[in-house]
């Protein structure tokens, strides 16, 4: 394929010299020249500004005009070379032209087609090479990342502006503080092998990635640095989130099985205790069993809160009000040597949450702060409104844009080192002595906050106290007070018929026994599918559906209630659950007003809730 013509501009006033030069170019083999001619310096300047030629040949002008054109070409930063054609050798003019930026000086009388072609081609290649070198030289100077150069003797011979800025930001330390150790060996090995070597270094809380590239011909090594502190922090947060999620799934599965077992143990223990209350020999051990199952149940509830599988009964509430509700309790718990300060934001938007869970968050954080201040100190609770944009959430993968109610909890305690801080929300992780804590306090806080669609941030340092910031999604609705259920002195039974649906056989038998003791008629089913068959026979008699939320054979408690309430709109429903893996979001987050009894529960609590549900004027239909 033929190459396109080489575009050349000849500045030549003499007609004979012009014709001779054109003849030389026409005689060049393998190259076609498209030659343009101007006769004056002014015309030449105008053409130079158009930048449409591959080479410029300046001839037929006096020395001053020729040098002015060379200077003009440099000022225009032309990418094409400029060659000077003179009648006879003049060392002073030649030197001045080369200093001004001319690519070559040619004597007219000594030119042949071959020598002229060689000079033009050489000038073009040198120009292109020089431009490439200039681009490479600009790269380290303009790079926003630090670039340094080392000679063969391991001495730093160059550092760009970013490297100098970084050195200044290190304070008293120099740039050497963030270089890999034994730079002499790195330089020697890089030049010997010709291979790029990569390292990661750290200085304080900052981390850097280095690439050392050998330039073997020049016997130098270039070092390119990138600060990776932010990326490493994000990676660590992502790994932590994944780990917490996996541990939460495991905890939730264990909690479900334990809750079923504890409900059976607690139920039968309470029944035996009621039957043998006049016999201290047997009632005392039974009381210890009941007390232990209560403690185990509390432990499981914390696991469920951590794993975000505890069923929420949420409403719109005022976070300031929630803090004041437990203010006195916090005062008693913290002791006289810890000062409590509450800073409220006026006109705080409502949040949508479970009152009991949020109070659990406040209590757990208070306990954590109290243990961090054995000699006394200050404990601060503050509420604010925070708004986040998409760009403001880039440093935290859990954060998101929008308006949030922020709860800030500070203490002046002993603080935490980085290792402890990294594990602070892990379940069963504790710095306390064996037997002094379960390690679930902050894990529970983490789980509750995540279940409320929020996130939590923590800052701490040894001897510098600890600050937790919890962000709750704000709501446009106004918070309203939670109605208080009346306390009955004695649990009442009844004669109504209850459909009990429970897939755990031992638990189903226990529930039947307890409710039968209170006078109720019981019909049972081991699954939602079986319950639908039982309903066909007994639907005229059934007053209440008591169902586990998650059951086998493809019909959950929620779906069962929906089907039965479509047939009998007045049917009342009482849900119970110890959580089972795979429950859908709408099954976990019950709508306001639905009755729910978490496992484990004592017999009296089961009877109380059943009676309350039956005596309620109305109950929402499952949506």
pLDDT in tens, 446-463: 888 888 889 899 999 898
Single out the residue of 190, 182, 179, 188 nearest to residue 212, CA to CA: 190
Q: What band does 471 get if pLDDT is binned at 50, 70 and 90?
A: very high
**DSSP line for 25-87:** HHT-TT--EEEEEE-SHHHHHHHHHH---SEEEE-SS-HHHHHHHHHHHHHTT-SS-EEEEES
Q: pLDDT at residue 140 above 70?
A: no
Query: Per the structure block, which two tokens stand in for 436?
Result: 């002094």
Q: Is the pLDDT of residue 506 over 90?
A: no
**Which pLDDT does position 169 carry in this prediction?**
84
For 610, the enclosing helix (H) or strand (E) is helix 603-615
pLDDT of 440 over the 80 cut: no
**Token pair 């600890």: residue:** 466
Strand ranges in 534-580 using DSSP code E only, listed in sequence order: 542-548, 572-577
In the prediction, which pLDDT does 377 show? 92
Q: At 338, is the secondary structure helix, strand, or coil?
A: strand
* DSSP structure string for 462-505: TTS-EEEEEEEEEESSPP-PPPPPPPPSS------EEEEE-S-H
307 pLDDT higher than 70: no
- pLDDT value of residue 434: 44
CA 577 to chain centre: 33
Instruction: Name the band, by pLDDT with cuts 50, 70 and 90, for residue 94.
Output: confident
Q: What is the pLDDT of residue 156?
A: 86
How would you list the strands of the sheet with 55-58, edge to edge? 33-38, 6-11, 55-58, 82-86, 104-107
Helix (H), strand (E) at residue 161: helix 161-169
pLDDT band at 435 (very low <50, low <70, confident <90, very high): very low
Domains and CATH numbers, the chain: 6-140 (3.40.50.2300), 143-227 (3.30.450.20), 315-475 (3.30.565.10), 497-615 (3.40.50.2300)
Whether the per-residue pLDDT at 442 is higher than 90: the answer is no
| Burial zone of 232 (CB within 10 Å; 0-12 exposed, 13-18 middle, 19+ buried) | middle
Mean pLDDT of 178-191: 89
pLDDT score recorded for residue 144: 80
Segment among 116-125, 131-140, 388-397 with least mean pLDDT: 131-140
pLDDT band of residue 589 (cuts 50, 70, 90) is very low
Residue 554, pLDDT score: 83
Residue 541, classed as helix, strand or coil, is: coil
451 touches 432 (CB < 8 A): no
Query: How far is C-alpha 189 from the chain's CA centre?
Result: 39
pTM: 0.42
Average pLDDT over residues 112-131: 82
- The model's pLDDT over 30-74, given as tens digits with 9 standing for 90+, comes to 888 989 999 998 999 999 998 889 899 998 888 888 888 989 988
Sign of the Cα pseudo-torsion (173, 174, 180, 183, in order): negative
512 or 590: whose pLDDT is higher?
512
Highest mean pLDDT among 422-436, 479-493, 601-615: 601-615
What is the residue-averaged pLDDT of the chain?
81
pLDDT at 1: 46
For 315, the token pair is 């409403």
Of all helices (H) and strands (E), which one includes residue 198? strand 197-203
Question: For residue 80, what are the contacts with CB-CB under 8 A and spacing of at least 6?
Answer: 51, 53, 54, 55, 56, 124, 127
Residue 328's Cβ-count burial label (10 Å; 0-12, 13-18, 19+) is exposed
Mean pLDDT, residues 359-366: 86
Classified as helix, coil or strand, 155 is coil
Q: Is the omega angle on the peptide bond into residue 34 within 30 degrees of 0, that is, cis? A: no
Q: What's residue 178's pLDDT?
A: 87
Q: Tell which residue, 75, 93, 92, 76, has the closest CA to residue 84.
A: 93
Place of tokens 């308006």: 403
pLDDT at 331: 83
- The pLDDT, as a whole number, for residue 429 is 67
- 8 A C-beta contact, residue 292 and residue 347: no
Task: Phi first, then psi: give them for residue 476, nearest 5 degrees.
Answer: -75, -25
Q: Are strands 197-203 and 455-460 parallel, antiparallel or unpaired?
A: unpaired
417 or 237, greater pLDDT: 417
The neighbour count for residue 477, using CB atoms within 10 Å, is 12
pLDDT (0 to 100) of residue 453: 87
- Mean pLDDT, residues 427-453: 70
Top pLDDT among 428 and 357 is at 357
31, HSE (Cβ side, Cα atoms, 13 Å):
18
Which region among 162-176, 424-438, 446-460, 553-567 has the lowest average model confidence (pLDDT)? 424-438
Give residue-wise pLDDT tens across range 527-555: 999 999 999 988 888 999 999 887 888 88
Closest CA to 62 of 84, 80, 35, 95: 84
Average pLDDT over residues 183-207: 89
Confidence class for position 139, pLDDT limits 50, 70, 90: low
According to the model, what pLDDT value does residue 592 have? 40
Spatial separation of the C-alpha atoms in residues 67 and 50, rounded to whole Å: 19
Q: What's the mean pLDDT in 82-94? A: 87
Measured between alpha carbons, how far is 268 from 552 in angstroms, rounded to an integer?
Answer: 25
Encode 45-71: b = buried (16+ Cβ within 10 Å), e = exposed: bebbeeeebbbbbbbbbeeebbbbbbe
Q: pLDDT tens for residues 273-291?
A: 777 766 667 677 777 777 7
Q: How many residues does the chain have?
A: 623
Percentage of the chain lying above the pLDDT 90 cut: 15
Greater confidence, 99 or 304? 99
Alpha helices in 276-338 (DSSP H): 280-307, 319-325, 327-334
Confidence of residue 582 (pLDDT cuts 50, 70, 90): very low
């Amino acid at each position: 394929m033929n190459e396109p013509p080489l575009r050349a501009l000849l500045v030549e006033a003499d007609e004979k010299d012009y014709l001779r030069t054109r003849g030389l170019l026409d005689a060049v083999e393998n190259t076609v020249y498209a030659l343009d001619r101007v006769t004056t310096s002014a015309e030449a300047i105008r053409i130079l500004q158009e930048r449409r030629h591959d080479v410029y040949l300046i001839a037929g002008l006096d020395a001053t005009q020729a040098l002015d054109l060379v200077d003009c070409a440099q000022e225009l930063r032309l990418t094409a070379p400029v060659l000077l054609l003179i009648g006879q050798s003049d060392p002073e003019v030649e030197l001045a032209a080369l200093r001004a930026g001319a690519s070559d000086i040619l004597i007219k009388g000594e030119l042949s087609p071959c020598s002229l072609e060689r000079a033009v081609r050489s000038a073009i290649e040198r120009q292109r090479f020089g431009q490439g070198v200039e681009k490479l030289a600009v790269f380290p100077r303009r790079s926003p990342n630090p670039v340094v150069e080392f000679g063969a003797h391991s001495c730093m011979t160059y550092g760009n502006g970013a490297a100098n800025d970084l050195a200044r930001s290190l304070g008293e330390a120099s740039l050497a503080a963030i270089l890999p150790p034994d730079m002499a060996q790195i330089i020697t090995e890089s030049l010997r092998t010709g291979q790029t070597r990569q390292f990661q270094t750290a200085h304080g809380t900052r981390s850097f990635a280095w690439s050392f590239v050998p330039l073997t011909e020049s016997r130098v090594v270039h070092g390119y640095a990138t600060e990776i502190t932010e990326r490493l922090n994000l990676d660590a947060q992502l790994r932590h989130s994944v780990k917490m999620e996996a541990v939460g799934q495991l905890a939730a599965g264990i909690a479900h099985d334990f809750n079923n077992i504890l409900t059976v143990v607690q139920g039968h223990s309470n029944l035996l205790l009621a039957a043998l209350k006049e016999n201290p020999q047997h009632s005392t051990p039974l009381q210890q069993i009941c007390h232990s199952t209560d403690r185990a149940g509390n432990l499981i509830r914390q696991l469920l809160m951590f794993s975000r599988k505890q069923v929420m009964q949420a409403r719109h509430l005022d976070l300031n009000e929630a803090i004041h509700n437990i203010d006195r309790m916090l005062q008693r718990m913290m002791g006289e040597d810890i000062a409590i300060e509450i800073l409220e934001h006026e006109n705080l938007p409502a949040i949508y949450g479970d009152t009991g869970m949020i109070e659990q968050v406040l209590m757990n954080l208070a306990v954590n702060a109290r243990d961090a201040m054995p000699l006394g100190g200050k404990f601060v609770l503050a509420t604010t409104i925070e708004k986040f944009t998409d760009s403001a959430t880039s440093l935290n993968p859990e954060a998101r844009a929008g308006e949030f109610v922020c709860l800030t909890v500070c203490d002046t305690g002993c603080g935490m080192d980085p290792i402890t801080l990294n594990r602070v929300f892990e379940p069963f992780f504790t710095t306390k002595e064996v037997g002094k804590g379960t390690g679930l306090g902050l894990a529970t806080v983490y789980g509750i906050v995540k279940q409320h669609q929020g996130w939590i941030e923590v800052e701490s340092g040894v001897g510098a106290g600890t600050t937790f910031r919890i962000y709750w999604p704000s709501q446009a609705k106004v918070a309203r007070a939670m109605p208080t259920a009346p306390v009955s002195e004695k649990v009442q039974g009844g004669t109504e018929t209850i459909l009990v649906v429970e897939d755990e056989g031992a638990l189903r038998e226990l529930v039947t026994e307890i409710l039968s003791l209170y006078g109720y008629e019981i019909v049972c089913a081991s699954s939602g599918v079986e319950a639908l068959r039982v309903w066909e026979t007994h639907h005229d008699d059934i007053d209440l559906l008591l169902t586990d939320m998650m059951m086998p054979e493809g019909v959950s408690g929620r779906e069962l209630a929906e089907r039965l309430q479509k047939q009998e709109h007045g049917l009342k429903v009482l849900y119970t659950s110890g959580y089972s893996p795979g429950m859908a979001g709408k099954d976990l987050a019950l709508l306001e007003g639905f009755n729910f009894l978490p496992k484990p529960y004592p017999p009296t609590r089961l009877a109380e809730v059943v009676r309350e549900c039956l005596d309620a004027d109305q109950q929402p239909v499952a949506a």
